[in-house]
Amino acid sequence: RALKLGAEELSLDVEPPDPQEPVAWRPVAALCLASCAHFYSVCSIFSYAGIMSTELGWAADRDSAGTFAGFLQSANVLGRMPTATFWGWYSDRFGAKSGLCWSMALIGLGNVLFGLVSDRNLAVIIRFVVLGMGNGWVTIFCPFAMDLAGAQQQVKLTSVVFSAGTLAQLFGPAVGGWTY
């Protein structure tokens, strides 16, 4: 396989998997778990962010709590923008598996730190730096899926993994609200 970039041609030395062979279930299960962790870190805050903002004194009243709750979530998503290229570079240089492990460790650490913080500014920093900049899932997942399943089964693998993430989107706010 070769990828043509302008006048240069980039050769990939990886042999594509046989489309008739089943995809190994352990890496798929790990990807499903990573997808759940990613989507949980993104959406579990929806159910309690407004209440938490007023209870901790981060927002003056209920009317401004919604704005600050939206700002908390935006900090997470904005944090991913400057580091997407870094996660792609890291994945190419050290491997998608290593990048995925670091990304998931940072998501876990960020969720724990965010749960322990009571300072408004520190909460935004944690959401931006640890949960946003440390989240390389979106950048790393597709090349990892291509390596694991090949072009013929990539769509199937992607749909299974994102379906698992959808479960976290569905139940994440309920679990987040219940544990708050």
Give residue-wise pLDDT tens across range 44-99.
Answer: 888 888 888 988 999 888 888 888 888 898 999 899 999 999 999 998 899 888 99
Each residue of 114-160: pLDDT tens digit? 989 999 999 999 999 999 999 998 888 888 888 888 778 888 888 88
- What is the rounded CA–CA span in Å between residue 129 and residue 74? 12
Give the CA angle between residues 93, 35, 73 to the nearest 5°.
95
Q: What predicted TM-score, i.e. pTM, was given to this entire model? A: 0.77
pLDDT at 11 over 70: no
pLDDT of residue 19: 60
What is the Cα–Cα distance from 19 to 152, expressed in whole angstroms?
Answer: 6
Position 100: which residue type? L
Compute the radius of gyration of the chain from its Cα atoms: 19
